[in-house]
Structure 1
Amino acid sequence: MSDLESYLAGFDVDTGYLNWASFGPLSVAVREEARADEELSATGRPSGIELVAGHVDEARALVAGALDAAVDDVTLVPSTTDALFHALFGLAGTVLLSPHEYPSIPVAARRAADARGQLTVRELDAGITRLTPEVVQDTLTDDVTAVAVSLVDYRTGYLVDLPALREVVGDRLLIVDAIQGFGVVDVDWAAADVVAGHGYKWLRAGRGTGFARFSPRARERIAPVLAGVAGTEAELGDLDVGPPKAGAAAYAVSRPDPQAAGRLRAALREMTDAGIPSIAALVAENARRVMAIADAHGIPVLTDRDRHAGIVTLAPDTGRAGLIAAELTNAGVTATVRGGVIRISPHAGTPDAAFELLDAAFAAARVGPILSTPTPAPLLPG
């Protein structure tokens, strides 16, 4: 069995699960790692405790390898939001962002602006739905010190062009929320100064498996304002707080959870062994299969057909979303349906049978009665 085949064999989920953008059911390897670490942590033996604690450094090294970064650039955090709060609270100047971002970015930016008074938040016009290089270029002014963006739009699956954004942003910082793309898209991560991610969606590693990369340039400009005891050089008994640690370790409030790090390590090892390009190709192909099924049933596709990851968002005719949602449930398909839009998110390991169930659900909804639905609204959460 090849590494890719082994990776695909770890998708032990219900056939109709097409909701990876919301939550990633744990892989077989991650579950095995979690059980083993629980046993090691239960004995109280120093050897077992130390073995599990070692997962933190192992996970950091694997994240660094995936991002083509130095290990010192990487820190483990509880969530993507934690990493974004560290980045934006330590930033001065003006950050440019879209009001359509998942709230993790705008909430962190506004909290930082209100709390410290050193950051100004500038939002793009609400009529602009994609943060493209052209839009950024037309909006940038000299006072902008950073641009914050999601690698993949949680609403539509639009994949931003990181290298092109890097070129436009220039010497400013580029802060990227990678949760909807890390592990399933093949991109040049070096284009970003800050990468904030989490393993509970596409990596299938469960909650608490967040991570962040702060490049040397980012660390020069982002103060570790929220550094806790784990982010300083202070020793037990020191009366002085002490200076921040060197590297990305400064952006930590507390020590990482070693069991969460173990799950992240297991997921990352699967991912790297299988190969990101191979996984990304399968995810993109499966997204195109969803689009083709939607096209066959006359359901409009909101997702950009040229730049997308694993998310496909559909906009049925007014009154059809409720009926489609019911038929998806009847067919055993798990997806996100909210505000008149439907978000389907297949993974690399999604079986052919899942697409057959999706096709059958759309067919059943096509002949059913029209139900009233509310005006489309943003997809929340996740």
Structure 2
Amino acid sequence: MGLMAPTENDDAEAFASYQSAFSEEPGYLNFASYGPPSSNVRDRVAHLLETAGNGEVGGMDHLHGEDLRARSAFSRLTGFPLDQVGLTASTSLGLFQVAFGLAGGTVLVSAGEFPANTYPWLRTSGAGRARVELIGVPGTHVTPDVVARGLTDDTVAVSVSAVDFRTGYRADLAGIREVIGPDRLLVVDGVQGFGVVDNEWTLADVLVAGAQKWVRGSWGVAAIAVSPQGVERIEPLLTGWTGVTDSKRYDGDEHPPLPGAERFSISNLSPYATGAFAEALELIESVGVPAIEGIIATHAQALVDRLDDAGVPVLSPRDRGERAGIVAVGLSGRAAEAQLALAGAGISTTQHGEDRIRLSVHATTRSEVFQEAARVLSAFA
């Protein structure tokens, strides 16, 4: 007998189980900075710590088996084959490895990118390898047209965030892929969207996404997925002993890099970090990214509506299809005061300079907080 298709009741039960795994405070609107992990993640880390503390025979193999769990779940969620998925310590480190792996040519990067996607390219440019060309200004949406205007014959890659950290703008990866063509590399910083945005991630030649934000897997690990073209053209310049063949043969010789994305490994990662990542990814799989994305879109729209009603200027895109879970508001010169008032009301957000507050919602956010956030912010608008 074949398997029965999931029913609406099954979906509702899965989401109820997902939601019950989280316990952040009702006023938490700061997922773009850090996503509080689930009880599943905390329990897994506790189990792994106990295993390490017991010093059992075979314990080390068990602990480092978490790497494969994390890579496998990331592979399933992105569509990249397992051999094209590796792990590194953070989004920033993964981008540094990619940047220093390009020996020449020009890489287009938005002048308004989060610094994690700027400094790797500035540093590799300063080292005489690939040169960086900053396009636009802070606040410019990296649209296919903006990218097309920056392209030259010397452009070898474009590096872009899947979701803009300032406004929540969702980059049109398909459009950017089309304008740059098949021969240039598309490097995607996925940390502000992976796990909550249902993108066609395999459009990228490189996808790097850390665990600590929307995935809710805490700090210390990121996944890096690399297409065959990316593996061929990005030198494993910053590869360590765990990224080479026969890594446990300590013969003093330099070993060749591994054939796939695992070549970007530098050293063993913390099994507590990789175990947390794996657990968080599998929890996302239990309900599916489209379901999470849909609830976040509804929450973000409800927050925008409350802010509009209160007369608070919204700086994020109005089109739901162009916006992820970030809603930014403008508060000319009064952001610091507003941030203090929000904290006093038990609401966690991020202040950007003196003119902007960033709020970010997840599928587990309680919608009751939106009215209170709008009320507090209306006094400073």
Residue 344 of structure 2 is aligned to residue 330 of structure 1 = yes
Q: In the alignment, which of 196, 204, 211 is matched to residue 223 of structure 2?
A: 211
Q: Structure 1 residue 276: deviation in Å?
A: 0.3
Residue 55 of structure 2 is aligned to residue 44 of structure 1 = yes
Matches within 5 A, 1:189-208: 189-208=201-220
Residue 95 and residue 210 in structure 1: after superposition, are their counterparts in 2 closer, same or farther (change >3 A)? same
Q: In the alignment, which of 281, 296, 299 is matched to residue 294 of structure 2?
A: 281
- For 2:250 and 2:315, locate their aligned partners in 1 and report how far apart those are by CA, in whole Å: 58
- For 1:67 and 1:314, locate their aligned partners in 2 and report how far apart those are by CA, in whole Å: 31
Query: Which position in structure 2 is the counterpart of 1:220?
Result: 232
- For 2:333 and 2:158, locate their aligned partners in 1 and report how far apart those are by CA, in whole Å: 38
Q: Structure 1 residue 127: deviation in Å?
A: 6.9
Task: Write the deviation string for residues 296-345 of structure 1: whole angstroms up to 9, x where unpaired.
Answer: 111111101221111110002x3543443233122110101232201000
What code does the residue aligned with 1:215 have?
Answer: S
Output the aligned Cα RMSD: 1.6
What code does the residue aligned with 1:338 have?
Answer: H
Count of aligned pairs: 364
Q: Structure 1 residue 258: deviation in Å?
A: 1.6
What code does the residue aligned with 2:344 have?
Answer: N
Matches within 5 A, 1:339-354: 339=353, 340-354=355-369
What code does the residue aligned with 1:359 have?
Answer: A
Residue 342 and residue 73 in structure 1: after superposition, are their counterparts in 2 closer, same or farther (change >3 A)? same
Q: Structure 1 residue 357: deviation in Å?
A: 2.9
Residue 244 of structure 2 is aligned to residue 269 of structure 1 = no
Query: Which position in structure 2 is the counterpart of 1:359?
Result: 374
Query: Which position in structure 2 is the counterpart of 1:166?
Result: 177
Moved more, 297-306 or 350-359: 350-359
Residue 122 of structure 2 is aligned to residue 122 of structure 1 = no
Q: Structure 1 residue 48: deviation in Å?
A: 3.2
Contact preservation (8 Å) 2:112, 2:138:
no
Contact preservation (8 Å) 1:16, 1:354:
yes
Task: Write the deviation string for residues 205-233 of structure 1: whole angstroms up to 9, x where unpaired.
Answer: 11012111011110111010011101112
- For 2:113 and 2:203, locate their aligned partners in 1 and report how far apart those are by CA, in whole Å: 20
- For 1:248 and 1:257, locate their aligned partners in 2 and report how far apart those are by CA, in whole Å: 19
Q: Structure 1 residue 104: deviation in Å?
A: 1.2
Q: Structure 1 residue 359: deviation in Å?
A: 3.5
- Which runs of structure 1 show a deviation greater than 4 angstroms over 4 or more consecutive aligned residues? none
Query: Which position in structure 2 is the counterpart of 1:299?
Result: 312
- For 2:138 and 2:192, locate their aligned partners in 1 and report how far apart those are by CA, in whole Å: 23
Question: Structure 1 length normalisation: TM-score?
Answer: 0.92
Contact preservation (8 Å) 1:18, 1:335:
yes
Q: Secondary structure at the match of 1:123?
A: strand
Question: Structure 2 length normalisation: TM-score?
Answer: 0.92
What code does the residue aligned with 2:328 have?
Answer: T
Residue 128 and residue 322 in structure 1: after superposition, are their counterparts in 2 closer, same or farther (change >3 A)? closer
- For 2:139 and 2:27, locate their aligned partners in 1 and report how far apart those are by CA, in whole Å: 34
- For 2:242 and 2:138, locate their aligned partners in 1 and report how far apart those are by CA, in whole Å: 42
Contact preservation (8 Å) 2:314, 2:330:
yes
Identity, in percent, stands at 38
Matches within 5 A, 1:57-68: 57-68=68-79
Task: Write the deviation string for residues 221-261 of structure 1: whole angstroms up to 9, x where unpaired.
Answer: 10100111011124443121111111011111112222211
Instruction: List alignment gaps of at least 5 residues for structure 1.
Output: 371-382
Matches within 5 A, 1:51-130: 51-91=62-102, 92-115=104-127, 117-126=128-137, 129-130=140-141
- For 2:352 and 2:139, locate their aligned partners in 1 and report how far apart those are by CA, in whole Å: 21
Q: Secondary structure at the match of 2:58?
A: helix
Q: Secondary structure at the match of 1:46?
A: coil
Contact preservation (8 Å) 1:197, 1:212:
yes
Instruction: List alignment gaps of at least 5 residues for structure 2.
Output: 1-11
Contact preservation (8 Å) 1:331, 1:360:
no
What code does the residue aligned with 2:164 have?
Answer: D
What code does the residue aligned with 2:350 have?
Answer: T
